[in-house]
Amino acid sequence: MQKITPFLWFDDQAEEAVNFYTSIFENSKIGRTFRNPEEAAEKTGRPAGSVLTIEFEIKGQKFVALNGGPLFKFNESVSFVINCETQEEVDYFWEKLIAGGGEESACGWLKDKFGLSWQVTPTILIEMLHDNDQEKSGRVMQAMLEMKKIDIKTLKDAYDR
């Protein structure tokens, strides 16, 4: 069993969100679903038999989604980074995650239609930012700060200038 498991609180879209995420990422699967028992229906405000929690896995990382009601919402203080090797991979995850009502943000960040924040990050960006040549890494940082979705060619052009 995994020691630490991210637990994601949704109003009542846990099952929809799990289906969405597992459709985007390869090597994903849906695990056990726990449904509200009759005894909890009144206390939770959810009908008996409705989904309370649903386990899922993306690339070996386990998660649990909870239908917890409208009390808490996602914000940018927690996000998930997707490390991408190519521009095609960046484009794929970017388009899939903003589909259906997601929002672009700055510097490779976005929110999906459930309000969960993601960073779609090319691995080469991290390498260039950590370069010992401060001028090169500074140009890359400046280029990144002007982007929403990260464009690897633009980063490389800034780096090689």
Domain boundary assignment for the chain: 1-72, 74-161
What pLDDT is attached to residue 44?
79
Q: What rounded mean pLDDT belongs to the chain?
A: 96
Would you say residue 42 has pLDDT above 90?
no
The CATH class given to the 1-72 domain equals alpha beta
Q: Where are the alpha helices (DSSP H) in the chain?
A: 14-24, 38-44, 87-98, 123-129, 134-145, 152-160
Q: Is the pLDDT of residue 40 over 90?
A: no
CATH number of 74-161: 3.10.180.10
Taking alpha carbons only, the member of 130, 151, 140, 131 closest to residue 86 is: 151
Taking only the tens place, the pLDDT of each residue in 83-123 is 999 999 999 999 999 999 999 999 999 999 999 999 999 99
pLDDT (mean) for 57-78: 95
What pTM value is reported for the model? 0.93
Q: Is the fold of 1-72 the same as that of 74-161?
A: yes
Lowest model confidence (mean pLDDT) among 41-55, 88-102, 131-145, 147-161: 41-55
